[in-house]
A and B are shown apart, each in its own frame.
Chain A
Amino acid sequence: MNAAMVLAVNTWRQLLRTRFLPVVVLFGGVLVYLGLLLGALAGDVEPRVLLDVGMAVVEVMTCGALAYCAASGVLLEIEQKTLYLILTRPVPRPAFLLGRYAGAVAASATAAAAMTACVASVLLVKGAPAGTDLLLALWGALLKGLVTAAVATLLALVSTSVLSAMTMTGVVWVLGHFVAEIRFLAQHTQSLAAKALLPAVWLLPDFALLNYRDRLHLPGAGLGESLALGALYAVLYSAVCLGLTTALFRRREF
């Protein structure tokens, strides 16, 4: 556990020192600023548009950055052979994976917090402080990030390149948001082929469960719903993915 912690802290430092995450924050900040243009067209509902655009940017940038960091973390270490330096020391393979994963999540969470502060500033300047809505949206984005990073780490081990791992993660991301619609369509279709695919849907992460940003004004949503439930789901699903990743990584020969 100590080794995992050391690796996580080092990964966090390494990612913040590289230009990647600062560029993500900068680009996210620019996109949030561009949201002002859309807000200007929205009339009465400007605060809602600013919040929605801003937090959508935060979520996409955070999860995109996490998918890249998680997918490239292991693969680049294998390619550059720096992995051997770590594994020749008394570092268990699960600790290596967990450390890299936790470091990437922590670094992206730092970037997400910076971008959310940018959204909050824009809303404050516009005289519409977001309050708990902003925090709820950030919470959802971070939970989705946890799952996305775990899926990307798993897919990085079963694929041959960072690009293919990220592409597959993107597909899982989209399907994960469509789970309710896929189940609805499968129940109402007559096609046997479509019905046969339904069990596979149960394997996908249900991102709608973590989509606090999209249900801020629904009856019973917001702070009224159990926030720990989403966290529990994200942690358990990530644990399943990381468990499988660890099993695959143990068997891998370098």
Chain B
Amino acid sequence: MRAALAAAGAAAALNLAFSSVSVPRLPARGGVSLAGEGVVAGAALWSLGMRRLGADLGFINLLVYYGTHDEDHDGHEHAAAGGYEDLLPRARRIRALDPYWSYPVLYAAGALAFNLERPDEALALLDEALALRPGDRELLATVAAVGFQKKGDLTAALERLMTAVDGPDAPTMLKNMAAFMNERLGRRETAARLYREILESRDASYHEAAERGLARLR
């Protein structure tokens, strides 16, 4: 009994001493929504100390969700704009698991603002990410791009977007949008450079679009 008490005291003292030591940690509270697909897997991985992996799987789920046709309850497909109502909650769940991972935020914000015409949702997501990383260049540039897109100023939106897509974490989807916008504005060289970068990226789902874009520019 005495040995058990001594060991318990030693363990508690050790934990107390190390709790005051400053170590980078993921925030304890994430405000994870308990609704939707993949939340159980995310919570299970969180409890095993695998929040990064949970965020990875959440992002793969998001890619699969966004890559398939969205249908309403009657089985009718939505048009390109609108639909994918679960995109923002899914992106928020990924952010709750891994708040410092900016790639899914940029991806979801780009899809919401430029493809689904829901810039307010995109800005809300970007603002949440910026609260943790206020100086992040890619996030700030995307906020500006979405803001100008909302105002209908395509040229200014593209300028900001170009800053975002030059970063190391820029999603290929955003590059594809920037290339297409450059093409529309007649900036052929920049568009061609971006299409070539897309062809070299790991995301093969945009390779075909990039090849078509390059063919149009030739």
Interface residues of A, Cβ cutoff 8 Å to B:
38, 41-49, 52-53, 56, 60, 173-174, 177-178, 180-181, 183-184, 199, 202-209, 211, 213-221, 225, 229, 233, 236-237, 240-241, 243-244, 247-248
Interchain CA distance A248-B12 in the complex, whole Å: 20
Q: Let me know if B12 and A209 touch, CB within 8 A.
A: no
Q: Let me know if A215 and B202 touch, CB within 8 A.
A: no
Chain A, interface SS category: helix
Interchain CA distance A214-B99 in the complex, whole Å: 12
Q: Let me know if B3 and A199 touch, CB within 8 A.
A: no
- Whether A181 touches B28, Cβ cut-off 8 Å, given contacts A48-B56, A49-B60, is yes
Q: Does B52 contact A (CB under 8 A)?
A: yes
Interchain CA distance A52-B24 in the complex, whole Å: 18
Interchain CA distance A60-B48 in the complex, whole Å: 9
CB distance from B30 to the nearest CB of A (A): 9
- Whether A41 touches B64, Cβ cut-off 8 Å, given contacts A207-B49, A236-B14, A243-B7, is yes
New contact pairs (18) apart from A41-B60, A225-B24, CB-CB < 8 Å: A38-B60, A41-B64, A43-B203, A44-B171, A47-B202, A52-B52, A177-B47, A181-B29, A183-B28, A184-B29, A205-B11, A206-B18, A207-B49, A214-B51, A229-B23, A243-B10, A244-B3, A244-B6
Across the interface, name the chain B residue whose C-beta is closest to A41.
B60
Q: Does B4 contact A (CB under 8 A)?
A: yes
Size category of the binding interface on chain B: 35 or more
Interface residues of B, Cβ cutoff 8 Å to A:
3-4, 6-8, 10-12, 14-16, 18-19, 21, 23-26, 28-29, 47-53, 56-57, 59-60, 63-64, 100-101, 103, 171-172, 201-205
Q: Let me know if B56 and A206 touch, CB within 8 A.
A: no
Q: Let me know if A41 and B63 touch, CB within 8 A.
A: yes
Pick 12 A–B contacts, CB within 8 A, sort by A.
Answer: A42-B56, A43-B172, A45-B202, A53-B56, A56-B50, A181-B29, A184-B29, A202-B16, A225-B23, A233-B18, A241-B7, A243-B3
Cβ–Cβ < 8 Å partners of B59 in chain A? 42, 45
- Whether A180 touches B28, Cβ cut-off 8 Å, given contacts A208-B49, A240-B7, A247-B3, is yes
Q: Let me know if A42 and B24 touch, CB within 8 A.
A: no
CB distance from B47 to the nearest CB of A (A): 5
Interchain CA distance A214-B64 in the complex, whole Å: 24
Interchain CA distance A184-B26 in the complex, whole Å: 13
Cβ–Cβ < 8 Å partners of B100 in chain A? 217-219
Q: In the complex, which of the residues B10, B64, B172 contacts A44, with contact meaning CB atoms closer than 8 Å? A: B172
